[in-house]
Homo-oligomer: A and B are copies of this chain.
C-alpha cells in the first residue's frame, strides 16, 4: 500500500462541478488501495475576492488579520471536497492547516513552514479516510493563523509529502507537465518525462512559471520526488527529482523566455574592489531582485573604468534607478542608462556540465536569425542571453529548434 499526496490548484476546484471531478479522480486512486492525502487551494478567484473585501474596509489591513481572512478560502474548499467524496461513498475528513499539524514561523502573509506533526493525518489515514488538507496555511506555535504566500499550496503538498514520507506527490494543475519551451510560442515544444530539481529551478527562475521556486527548493532539500500533471486528462506528467547520470545525456532540457526584464547600465564605474558589492547591497536592501549581471573588462590605464550592467524585473525598474541615483556619490559612475525593450533567453540542462560547445551552438542559432546578443551570463547548468524584446519569440523558436526539435 502506497501513500500518495495529491495537490489540486484553484482552477481544478473552480466550481462544484470541478470539485466533483477531483473527487472522482481521488476515488479512483483510493480504489487502488492506496492511502491518499489531498491538498487543495482556494477556489480560483476567491482569494482575490477576499483581498478586495479587505481593501473595501481599509487600504492597509494588518497582515495578521489578512491571514485570518485568507485562510477561509482553503477552509471552504476542504469542506466541499470532503463532501464530494462522501457523496460518492469515499470516507473523507477535512483538516485545516492548523489541524494537520503544520507549524510555521510568525511572518504573516509569507510564513515559512517550521515543522509538521502529522499525527492526526496518520490517525485519520489509518482509520481508512482520505484526508483533505487546506493548502497555503498553518499556525504558529502560539496558535496564530498564518498563510504561506504565493504558491503556498504547492509548498504544503511538498512539505506534507516529506513529513509523511509519501511514496509519491502529484501536483495537479491546468498544464500537462513541464515543457521544453512555452508551447504557445514554440509549436514544436514537447512535454518532458522528467526533469532535475536544479533544471526546474533554473527554468522557473527564467520565467517558466509552472511552480514557485520555493516549493521546488523544499522538494530538493528533502528529496521529495513529485509529478506535475494535468487535472483535466489522464496523461502522465513530468517527474521532478534528483538528477541521475542518464539525465546528462540530454544537454539542454528546456528553453525559457523572460519578457519581464529591464536592463540598467552604469557607464564609467571605477574599477576597484567593493563597488559591485556596494551596488547590489543597496538593491538587495530595497528588496529588488537582480537576475543577469555582467561587468565588462576595464578600459583606461591610470584610473581604470568599467561598465556594469544588470537586469531587474520590469516593475522594479523605477525603484532600482532611484536606488542607484541615490548612491551616485558613493559609486561614482559617469552615466546610468536603462532599457525596457529587452528579453532574457535561457537554455537549461544538467548535461551542459559535461558537454562542450553548448554556448557556441546557442550563439550560432541566434546569429543565423540575425539576432544580436546584448549580454551573456552563464552558470553551470544555464546560459542566459539578453536580446531585443521584439526578437524574443523568434530567438526562443530558433534556439529550441537547435537543441530540442523533435528528431534533433
**A186 close to B (CB within 8 Å):** no
Q: Can you list, as one digit per residue, whether each of A60-81 has a CB less than 8 Å from chain B (1) or not (0)?
A: 1110111011011001101110
CB-CB under 8 A from A79, the residues of chain B are 54, 65-66, 68-69, 72
Chain B residues with CB below 8 A from A54, complex form: 79-80, 83
**Quick check: is A259 within 8 A (CB to CB) of the other chain?**
no
Q: In the complex, which of the residues B65, B69, B82, B120 contacts A65, with contact meaning CB atoms closer than 8 Å?
A: B82
Size class of the A contact interface (CB-based, 8 Å): 35 or more
Contact indicator per residue, chain A 141-164, by CB within 8 Å of chain B (1) or not (0): 001010000000000000000000
Once bound together, how far apart are the Cα atoms of A145 and B87, in whole Å? 20
Q: Does A276 contact B (CB under 8 A)?
A: no
Are A75's CB and B84's CB within 8 A?
Answer: no
Min CB distance, A373 to chain B, in Å?
A: 50
- Which secondary structure dominates chain A's binding surface? helix
Closest to A74 in B: B72
Say yes or no: is A287 at the interface (Cβ < 8 Å to chain B): no
> Does A94 interact with chain B (Cβ within 8 Å)?
yes
Cβ contact within 8 Å between B53 and A76: yes
Residue A93 is within 8 A (CB to CB) of chain B in the complex: yes
Using CB atoms, name the residue of chain B closest to A82. Answer: B65
Q: Is the beta-carbon distance between B62 and A69 smaller than 8 angstroms?
A: no
Residue on B nearest A17 in the bound complex, by CB: B56
Residues of chain B lying within 8 A (CB to CB) of residue A15: 56
Contact B99 A143 (CB under 8 A): yes
Question: Which residue from B60, B64, B84, B145 sits with its C-beta under 8 Å from A57?
Answer: B84
Contact present for A72 and B76 (CB under 8 Å): yes
Copies of this chain in the oligomer? 2
* Complex CA distance for A72 and B47, rounded to whole angstroms: 13
With an 8 A cutoff between CB atoms, is A86 at the interface? Answer: yes
A217 to B140 Cα, complex, angstroms: 37
Contact (Cβ within 8 A) A69 B76: yes
Closest CB of chain B to A15's CB: distance in Å? 8
Q: Which residues of B contact A56 (CB under 8 A)?
A: 15-16
Is the CB–CB distance between B53 and A65 below 8 Å? no
Shortest CB-to-CB span from A376 to chain B, Å, is: 48
- Which residue of the partner chain B has the closest CB to A66? B79
Q: Taking the nearest CB of chain B, how far is it from the CB of A63, in angstroms?
A: 10
B50 touches A76 (CB 8 A): yes
Beta-carbon contacts under 8 Å, A5-43 to B: 15-16, 19-20
Distance of A60 Cα from B65 Cα, bound (Å): 33
Contact A87 B75 (CB under 8 A): no
Once the chains bind, are A58 and B75 in contact (CB under 8 Å)?
no
Tell me whether B83 and A58 are in contact (CB under 8 A).
yes
Other-chain contact of A94, B50, B60, B65, B143 (Cβ < 8 Å): B65
Other-chain contact of A62, B16, B50, B65, B83 (Cβ < 8 Å): B83
B-chain residues with CB within 8 Å of residue A20 when the two chains form the complex: 57
Give min CB distance, A72 to chain B, whole Å. 4
Residues B83 and A57 in contact, CB atoms below 8 Å apart? yes
Taking CB atoms and an 8 Å cut-off, the chain A residues in 234-268 that contact chain B are: none
Is there contact, CB below 8 Å, between B68 and A78?
A: yes
CB-CB < 8 A to A120: which residues of B?
143
Cβ contact within 8 Å between B143 and A57: no
* Min CB gap A64→B, angstroms: 7
A80, B99: Cβ atoms closer than 8 Å: no
| Chain B positions within 8 Å of A80 at CB level | 53-54, 57, 65, 69
A60 to B75, Cβ gap below 8 A?
no
Write 9 A-B pairs (CB below 8 A) sorted by A numbering.
Answer: A50-B76, A54-B80, A57-B87, A58-B86, A61-B83, A62-B82, A68-B94, A72-B76, A120-B143
